[in-house]
Amino acid sequence: MRAICVFCGSREGARPSYIEAANLVGKTLARRGISIVYGGGKVGLMGALADAALEEGGEVVGVIPEALVSNEIAYAGLARLHVVGSMHERKKLMADLSDGFLTLPGGYGTMEEFFEVLSWAQLSIYEKPCALLDVEGFYEPLSTLFDKMVEEDFVHPEHRSLVLMEQDLDTLLDLMERHTPPETKKWIGPRDR
C-alpha cells in the first residue's frame, strides 16, 4: 500500500491512549513509507496524527472542505492540502487517493466516514481494506453489533470479514496488506434463501 486514509476524531478524547495511538499511527506509517491521507485538520487526533508523521519525514495529504478552512482548523504545511466544496467531495477524494482505510477512535463524523467506505466495500465499489484500530477496546461494542448484524441476516457472513480489527497496529497493517475482498457480492433486491 502506498497511501492509507486515516479517519479519526477532531477531538483528543478522554484517554491519553487515543493521542498515543494517533502518534503511533503517524510515525509507523511514515517509517513504512506509506503516505497518510486524512481530513486536513490541525486539531484533536487529526492534528496529532499529522504532527507525528511529519516529524518522521512522512508525507501527509489533507482533504478539507472550504467551510472548515475558513474556521481556521486546516493544517498548514502539509505536502498537499486539497480544499473541496463539500463533505461528499472530501470523502470521495480521500477514498480515491488511498489504497486502504484505517480508523482510530472518533465521534459521529469518524463513524460516518468509516461506514461509508465499508458500504462501498460491501458493494464492491472499492476493494480496499477497511480497518479499525481498537484502542483499549474502543471498538469492541461495534464488533459485537457487526456480529449481531450477521446473526440477524442483515449482513452476509462473508462480508463480516470486510472489517479488519486489531489492538496491535503492526498486526492490523499486515492484515490490510494481505486483504482479499470476499467473493460474495452484495445482493441488490430480494435474494434466494
- Count up the domains in the chain and report the number: 1
Is pTM beyond 0.85? Reply is yes
Is residue 22 assigned to a domain?
A: yes
Is residue 190 assigned to a domain?
A: no
Contact 45, 9 (CB under 8 A): yes
Contact 1, 34 (CB under 8 A): yes
Is residue 118 assigned to a domain?
A: yes
| CATH code for the domain in which residue 150 is found | 3.40.50.450
SS (H, E, C) 87-120: HHHHHHHHHHCCCEEEECCCCHHHHHHHHHHHHH
**Burial level of 134, CB count in 10 A (0-12/13-18/19+)?**
buried
Determine the structural domain holding residue 61 and report its residue range: 3-178
Is residue 64 assigned to a domain?
A: yes
Is residue 186 assigned to a domain?
A: no
Contact 99, 37 (CB under 8 A): no
pLDDT score for 68: 87
Paired with 82 in beta bridges are 63
Is residue 75 assigned to a domain?
A: yes
Is residue 183 assigned to a domain?
A: no
What are the average pLDDT values for consecutive 10-residue runs of the chain, which has 193 residues? 96 97 98 97 96 97 90 84 94 96 97 96 92 98 97 93 97 96 65 46
Is residue 157 assigned to a domain?
A: yes
